[in-house]
């Protein structure tokens, strides 16, 4: 008897070569393999007799091979396999494959075959190029049906996976199955399956890997999506209950302190900022830990809302920490909070791998207090302070944190190192939380070192990716939600235009005029921080679809930097930024750009988050069709941060030189021309690209099949209702041990805050 948890290396027909490849894909056991789902399907289900009616359509035909031929083109190192089959209506069909001579070992004259592919005319003869094939004597696995296409890597094909999947699935459906029956028992309770007419697990797997029809495939996918969302909702309900049972520091809302702070801001808070701030301040008062997501568009003012919560916490003699995904963003937060709290007696630290800085208030007797009033009976008073910033050692900084000498600590992943200990940490703020891996986010609140292990810090997570409300509730079901859906009134909408290659020169001339609007913009001695000029971003996409920038990407951005520097804009100063630069090098480039020593910054997508240059008024995004709408909107948010009108130009087409060939503009890009509303844009992206646009599998841990159905509000509601009902009757899942085990494994993969 064989167990479904059997390692694949124990199955004789799966050789060590394939085992190594599968393990790279995270597939180790028979069960892993069965749950390795296709990401798309080729529709070869139309089985017909050849005729002109089916030209340029994907069809399946069968017949006997009447002729085979192998052509070798030695100078091009190419081989071409040709076969002719006689079909059932006696019309011959030619099939051609390139560089696959081994096909002729199976496809010999006289063999009956099925071919699936697009029917075309080669002269006057019917033909198919590189069709899928298999012998007619075999069950339809690779032709004649909906054919699953799996995520692949070098050394393995979907055809091989289908063959193995068939061999592993068939015994499961046999009454005398050699597999142990207790491993594949359905974790979904029978009454829930019956209520929603959901397939059992065996039927689900069979229809996902080898669907009999599109209808049955959709039904099977929805069954798996329901299962994953059911687990999500079980977990989020449990988390919320656990949070309600934990102790946290209740921080009293000091209305005078906050009112004075807000009144002395150089701008007026939006209604959305006021509402979000009040929600957070009321959460901080509770003796259970806050767990809130602050979701706002670029420029909607999340920083000042987080500053209000930090001020309230620090005023009560507790510490606050802010964690950012990059050093550039952490440094920017450090500078922003130094400015925001310049008149408060607060020590602020920056801790990253490259920076160990402390900013402390310093009384300035020369300045007059005119508009500032002292707040009576408050621990933090508005004083006449300026700030000094000093560099320190890591050990000195850690001591300052541990003794509560520093009240606000800003940093990157360096904050979750074992030697970082807080005296009395009461508030954790995570910026761009989706940029952190699952394990890192889990560590922050649950394992971050602090003196009082009994008190759990309050948690505020923030994201500048506007998330549709239904998606946020589904994914972050354990969090409370605050949305900043209102922009400051003085913010000018960014003018966005789609530019085809023929329009490049016009944009380049416009950029020249923008930069030259500043007096003496090309004089080196005038490139100081007091200069009021205009600056430009040029963004290039990743060439390789990988988690980090490759050397190919770096080469491309360097080449574009050189082209623009020498040919297009030789009169201006250009900078270069990419992910392979060291942190200090990135910081130096950004400082030069911030100080207006650089007119045009050429960069990869490293600037998507966290670079604030109010002086930048133009952004060019190359190959914009390669990006999702939400990411394009994030890039666009790098400009429009000052008082001047800003512009975003979406360059299309692969070639970077003007051409007379018409360029097809993707319809979805036109949405960006029509609106600057990030929430509206995210709704469009959700419909076009699915929820994975917001939370990739690496960040979320959610299986693709759940991600694809995450916007199905009805499915989410049903799953949540059933999860709630089940936990009310069986809170510890003692009566559902299989479900409890599945939930435990699921929780190891995904962190829902």
* DSSP conformation letters of 653-672: SS-SS--SS--PPPGGGHHH
Of 127-136, 156-165, 529-538, minimum mean pLDDT range: 529-538
Tokens matching residue 71? 């052509």
Please tell me the class of the 495-675 domain: alpha beta
Q: Which of 45, 48, 2, 57 is nearest to 167 (CA)?
A: 2
Could you please state the CATH topology (level 3) that the domain comprising 255-285+300-463 is classified under.
Rossmann fold (3.40.50)
Of 269, 233, 243, nearest to 486 (Cα)?
A: 269
pLDDT at 446: 53
**pLDDT for the residue numbered 262:** 95
pLDDT at residue number 660: 45
Are β-strands 356-363 and 385-391 bridged in parallel, bridged antiparallel, or unpaired? antiparallel
Q: Which residues contact 210 (CB under 8 A, 6 or more apart)?
A: 141, 145, 148, 162, 165, 166, 169
pLDDT tens digits for range 558-609: 899 999 999 999 999 999 988 788 877 887 888 888 888 999 999 987 665 5
For residue 505, what pLDDT band results from cuts at 50, 70 and 90?
very high
Q: Which two tokens stand for residue 714?
A: 């009805």
Helix (H) or strand (E) holding 117: strand 112-118
Angle formed by the axes of helices 214-245 and 713-729, nearest 10°: 50
Q: How confident is the model at residue 364 (pLDDT cuts 50, 70, 90)?
A: low
C-beta of residue 298 within 8 angstroms of C-beta of residue 462? no
Two structure tokens written together for 66 = 């009447």
Exposed/middle/buried for residue 9 (C-beta within 10 Å: 0-12, 13-18, 19+)? middle
Range of 475-484, 635-644, 695-704 with top mean pLDDT? 635-644
Q: Which of the four pLDDT bands, split at 50, 70 and 90, describes residue 250?
A: very high
Same topology between domain 41-149 and domain 495-675: no
Assess if CATH 2.40.50.140 describes domain 41-149.
Answer: yes
> What integer pLDDT is reported at residue 363 of this predicted model?
62
Between 461 and 445, where is the model more confident?
A: 461
Q: What's the whole-model pTM score?
A: 0.70
pLDDT tens-place string over residues 659-711? 444 455 677 889 999 998 888 888 787 777 665 545 543 334 455 566 566 66
Q: How confident is the model at residue 113 (pLDDT cuts 50, 70, 90)?
A: very high
Interval 619-638: pLDDT, tens = 999 988 888 888 888 889 88
385 bridge partner residues: 363
Q: Which residue has the tokens 């029809």?
A: 213
- Mean pLDDT is lowest, of 74-83, 215-224, 486-495, 705-714, for 705-714
Whole-number average pLDDT of the chain: 81
83 Rama class: left (phi>0) / alpha (psi -120 to 50) / beta: beta
What DSSP line would sit under 702-734, residue for residue? --HHHHHTTT-HHHHHHHHHHHHHHHHH-TT-T
**Is residue 398 over pLDDT 90?**
yes
Where in the chain are the domains? 41-149, 222-245+711-749, 255-285+300-463, 495-675
Rounded Cα–Cα distance for residues 381 and 343 (Å): 8
């Amino acid at each position: 008897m064989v167990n479904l948890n059997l390692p694949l290396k124990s199955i004789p027909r799966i050789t060590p070569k394939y085992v190594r490849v599968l393990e790279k894909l995270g597939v180790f056991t028979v069960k892993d393999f069965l749950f390795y789902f296709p990401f798309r399907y080729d529709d070869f289900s139309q089985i017909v007799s050849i005729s002109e009616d089916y030209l340029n359509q994907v069809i399946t035909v069968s017949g006997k091979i009447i002729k085979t031929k192998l052509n070798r083109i030695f100078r091009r190192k190419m081989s071409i396999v040709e076969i002719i089959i006689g079909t059932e209506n006696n019309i011959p069909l030619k099939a051609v494959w390139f560089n696959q001579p081994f096909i002729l070992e199976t496809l010999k004259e006289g063999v009956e075959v099925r071919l699936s592919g697009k029917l075309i005319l080669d002269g006057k003869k019917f033909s198919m190029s590189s069709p899928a094939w298999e012998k007619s004597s075999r069950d339809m696995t690779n032709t004649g049906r909906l054919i699953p296409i799996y995520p692949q890597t070098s050394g393995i094909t979907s055809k091989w996976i289908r063959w193995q999947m068939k061999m592993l699935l068939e015994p499961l459906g046999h009454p005398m199955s050699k597999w142990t029956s207790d491993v594949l028992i359905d974790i979904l309770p029978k009454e829930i399956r019956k209520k929603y007419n959901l397939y059992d697990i065996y039927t689900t797997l069979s229809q996902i890997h080898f669907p009999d029809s599109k209808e049955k495939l959709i039904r099977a996918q929805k069954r798996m999506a329901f299962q994953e969302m059911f687990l999500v909702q079980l977990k989020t309900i449990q988390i919320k209950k656990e949070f309600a049972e934990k102790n946290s520091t209740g921080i009293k809302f000091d209305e005078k302190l906050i009112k004075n702070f807000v009144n002395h801001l150089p701008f007026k808070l939006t209604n959305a900022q006021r509402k979000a701030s009040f929600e957070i301040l009321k959460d901080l008062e509770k003796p259970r830990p806050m767990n809130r997501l602050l979701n706002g568009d670029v420029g909607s003012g999340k920083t000042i809302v987080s500053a209000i919560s930090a001020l309230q916490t620090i005023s009560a003699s507790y510490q606050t920490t802010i964690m950012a995904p990059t050093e550039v963003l952490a440094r920017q937060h450090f500078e922003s909070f130094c400015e925001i709290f310049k008149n408060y007696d607060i020590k602020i630290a920056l801790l990253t791998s490259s920076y160990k800085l402390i900013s402390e208030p310093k009384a300035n007797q020369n300045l007059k207090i005119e508009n500032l009033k002292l707040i009576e009976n408050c621990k933090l008073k508005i004083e006449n302070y300026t700030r000094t910033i000093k560099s320190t050692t890591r050990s000195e900084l850690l001591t300052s944190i541990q003794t509560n000498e520093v009240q606000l600590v800003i940093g990157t992943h360096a904050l979750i190192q074992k030697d970082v200990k807080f005296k009395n940490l009461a508030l954790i703020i995570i910026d761009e939380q989706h940029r952190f891996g699952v394990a890192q986010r889990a560590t922050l609140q649950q394992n971050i070192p602090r003196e009082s292990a009994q008190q759990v810090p309050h948690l505020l997570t923030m994201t500048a990716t506007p998330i549709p409300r239904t998606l946020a509730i589904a994914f972050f079901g354990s969090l409370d939600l605050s949305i900043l859906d209102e922009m400051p009134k003085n913010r000018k909408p960014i003018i966005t235009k789609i530019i085809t290659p023929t329009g490049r020169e016009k944009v380049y001339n416009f950029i020249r005029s923008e930069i030259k609007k500043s007096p003496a913009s090309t004089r080196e001695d005038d490139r100081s921080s007091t200069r009021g000029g205009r600056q430009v971003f040029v963004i290039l996409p990743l060439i390789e679809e990988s988690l980090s920038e490759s050397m190919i990407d770096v080469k491309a951005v360097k080449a574009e930097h050189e082209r623009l520097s020498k040919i297009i804009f030789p009169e201006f100063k250009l900078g270069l930024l990419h992910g392979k630069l060291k942190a200090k090098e990135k910081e130096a480039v950004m400082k030069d750009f911030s100080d207006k020593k650089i007119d045009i910054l050429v960069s990869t997508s490293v600037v998507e988050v966290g670079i604030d240059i109010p002086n930048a008024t133009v952004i060019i995004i190359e190959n914009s069709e390669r990006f999702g709408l939400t990411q394009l909107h994030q890039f666009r948010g790098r400009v429009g941060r000052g008082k001047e009108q800003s512009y975003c130009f979406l360059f299309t087409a692969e070639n970077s030189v003007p051409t007379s060939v018409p360029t097809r503009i993707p319809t979805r890009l036109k949405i960006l021309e029509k609106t600057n509303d990030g929430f509206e844009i995210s709704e469009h992206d959700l419909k076009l690209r699915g929820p994975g646009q917001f939370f990739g599998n690496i960040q979320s841990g959610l299986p693709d099949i759940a991600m694809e159905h995450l916007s199905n509000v009805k499915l989410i509601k049903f799953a949540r209702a059933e999860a709630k009902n089940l936990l009310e009757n069986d809170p510890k899942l003692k009566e559902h041990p299989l479900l409890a085990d599945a939930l435990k494994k699921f929780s190891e993969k995904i962190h829902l805050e």
